[in-house]
Structure 1
Amino acid sequence: MVRQLASRAASLSLILKFVGQVFPMVSRELASWREHAGRRACPQLAEQALASIRDKKFHCQGGSIYSLYEGVSTPDFIRLVVALQTISDYLDNLCDRAGVSDEAAFRQLHLAMTDALDPSAPLHDYYRHYPFRNDGGYLAALVRTCQQETAKLPAYLLVKPHVLRLAGLYSELQTYKHLDPAVREAKIHTWVACHLGAYPGISGWEFAAATGSTLGMFMLCAAAANPRLTAAQAQSFDAAYFPWISGLHILLDYFIDAAEDRAHGDLNFVAYYQSDAEITQRLTLFLREALARAAALPAHPFTETVIYGLVAMYLSDPKTEAPRERAIKQALLAAAGPYARFVHNLCRLLRRGKIL
């Protein structure tokens, strides 16, 4: 009990530091990129760059929790998280909101994700197949910033194969999920079938969902700040995050957007579940597996805080107040336990104050 109380106190201290110190630093970093995005770019690309920063700031806020991992340089790591997450969000807009549906263009754009995580990689012509090309150097600057920050991490060579694998899977998902609805499901099914044998116990759509998270990349980069990191530890982080913690992250994201996506005919992996009971059962499984694997990691209270934070952040979204979503939310919070409910109430307060 004493150990648990100490762990909860440390977790709460982490959350308060996260909100009080990290959030303002993220805002300043995004302001710098906002200024760059609005300079010298063609109107179509400037619009999507600015929209991604305006509408998806919370992605950068959430990912920046890893800047508080033990041994990490917080300012440097925030710079890495904001740049990489901004690449992700910007490319998502280019694939989803600019009236383009071209597989070759999407695949070429997403070379920016893998280039960003390989400090020695030359930059590609990311807009080679895209109808708009002049971004004023914005995407290249984001990629170079990530390369500069990952090059500073003393154990990056140990985590690099894991990080690049996750970035590659992420890029494949983004390439397929934004295609025309007439072909995207078959494309995703064929792609997933090549990988699923290594992940018994999850469905193809759950695997695809897990590939959509950037959290495993951030965790591995944070772990690489430790010069004494071992290959076995790097592997344990990778296995804990993929598919379980990453899957929980994206399934929660799709859960809160399910009604909206249903109304607009957008792809939603939670929609593949057959009932509300199955949604509750499968998300609860991902939650429990995530917590079980977190317990075996170095500095496991940090990862537990991340998991409780995911549950609290997503389930405090106003979209979960609809009757159907509310019932599932209550079941998930009950499964997560009293501390998750406490953090959930804290997130609700932050939302009311427009901090989150």
Structure 2
Amino acid sequence: MIQEWNRLKVPTHPWTLMYSIYKRVLPRIHQELDQWKRRAQEIPDSELRMQALSSIESKTFHCEGGAIYGLLAGNQISKSIEFVAAYQTISDYLDNLCDRSTSLDPQDFSALHESMVEALSPEIKASNNYYRYRKEQDDGGYLLALVETCQNVIRQLPNREEVQPALLELCHYYCDLQVHKHVTEEDRVPRLQSWFNQHEPQLPDMTWNEFSACAGSTLGIFCLVSYSLGNNLPEGGTDVIKDGYFPWVQGLHIMLDYFIDQEEDRVGGDLNFCFYYKDNDELARRVAHFIKEADRSVKGLPHASFHRLINKGLLGIYLADRKVTEQKDVRSLARKIIRKGGRSSIFFYFNGWVYRRLHKASQ
């Protein structure tokens, strides 16, 4: 099979990346999300409908970020973004069902997340029995449609047999995390610590909460799917990409996600991985360590400059969130962290700050 990765042209500077995002990525991902929002509005069960719509409306930026990986798919960018929209929508919808809905049953959470495994497994006929342990049942085929959309894209991967094991490995990390972190409050940490102990021998030096953060990202999946769609897998195969993203890049992604949500999670009584450091200085040091390791881990990837930009963009975009300005301690730490990312992160920070406020004003 001829590898095309070395001929793929991707942005390597902050301004060219932002131009590509605004020109090629955001219009496509918003079109996909509008379609799923219309579908969600038709869900018969009121609780499922509310959670589906809420997940799209409040977590659009998750899909926007994931869709950037479509730039790695060459002329298959639209197919990549179609996958990102469907798969990330499943993730955000299920997160709402586990976090904000009516169940604390790990069996329910496990059954719901079967959909994420099946979405990556087109050889399996999607079951549509994901709600079997909860009282809400009738979503009008919404989750099944999301799963089948993903399956259709995975079915078309030129390198599917090579890529699928890595996709499923990352997926299982994610699904296990979602089950453990959403059970009754007293069981969450013991379950997560026990899970970490099973994997610790294969991990670099990190704590249980940091491993949980590394498991909670979908970025590695989107990167693998996009490279594969464009027949752009690098020499060395899927492990090069998987190891480039897991654990450090994925961990940085989710640590930042939890970093900006601290006050919201404190008020809601939700588990937050940033709460398990002795003080803010230790939190800042560990985030800085993730920044350093994430940059180091992408050096071996093709288009390493692009992937480093993603790391810098994560810092800038997350820390530009309004939630940061509303939390005094978080705001102070954010300034220190953004400086660790250098000029590129500062560029993305100001770009993200302007975009989010313009986007909010237009709604």
User: Structure 1 length normalisation: TM-score?
Assistant: 0.94
What is the identity, as a one-letter code, of the residue corresponding to 2:105?
D
What is the identity, as a one-letter code, of the residue corresponding to 1:238?
K
Change (3 A) 1:231 1:139: farther
Match for residue 214 of structure 1?
A: 218
Q: Distance in 1 between matches of 2:100 and 2:45?
A: 16
Q: Which runs of 5+ in 1 are unaligned?
A: 1-6
Match for residue 168 of structure 1?
A: 172
What is the identity, as a one-letter code, of the residue corresponding to 1:279?
L
Q: Which runs of structure 2 are paired with 1:255-334 in the superposition (5 Å)?
A: 255-321=259-325, 322-334=327-339
Q: Which runs of structure 2 are paired with 1:133-148 in the superposition (5 Å)?
A: 133-148=137-152
Q: Distance in 2 between matches of 1:228 and 1:35?
A: 34
Q: Distance in 2 between matches of 1:271 and 1:309?
A: 24
| Residue pair 2:55, 2:96 contacting (<8 A) in 1 also | yes
Between 221-230 and 252-261, the greater mean CA deviation after superposition:
221-230
Match for residue 231 of structure 2?
A: 227
Displacement of 1:122 in angstroms is 1.9
Q: Deviations over 1:77-135 (max 9, x none)?
A: 11100000000011111112222111111100100001001121221211111211111
Match for residue 5 of structure 2?
A: none
Q: Which runs of 4+ in 1 moved over 4 A?
A: none
Give the number of aligned pairs.
350
Q: Which runs of structure 2 are paired with 1:1-356 in the superposition (5 Å)?
A: 10-71=13-74, 73-124=76-127, 125-227=129-231, 229=233, 232-321=236-325, 322-354=327-359
Displacement of 1:76 in angstroms is 0.9
What is the identity, as a one-letter code, of the residue corresponding to 1:46?
R
Q: Distance in 2 between matches of 1:77 and 1:228?
A: 13
User: Structure 2 length normalisation: TM-score?
Assistant: 0.92
Q: Distance in 2 between matches of 1:241 and 1:96?
A: 26
Identity %: 37
Match for residue 3 of structure 1?
A: none
Q: Distance in 1 between matches of 2:152 and 2:12?
A: 35
Q: Distance in 2 between matches of 1:25 and 1:228?
A: 21
Q: Deviations over 1:146-188 (max 9, x none)?
A: 0101111211221211110111110111111111102121111
Higher RCO, 1 vs 2 (CA within 8 Å, ≥6 residues apart): 2
| Root-mean-square deviation over aligned CA pairs | 1.8
Q: Deviations over 1:265-318 (max 9, x none)?
A: 210001101111111110011111111111221011221121111011111112
What is the identity, as a one-letter code, of the residue corresponding to 1:250?
I
What is the identity, as a one-letter code, of the residue corresponding to 2:15?
L
Displacement of 1:231 in angstroms is 7.0
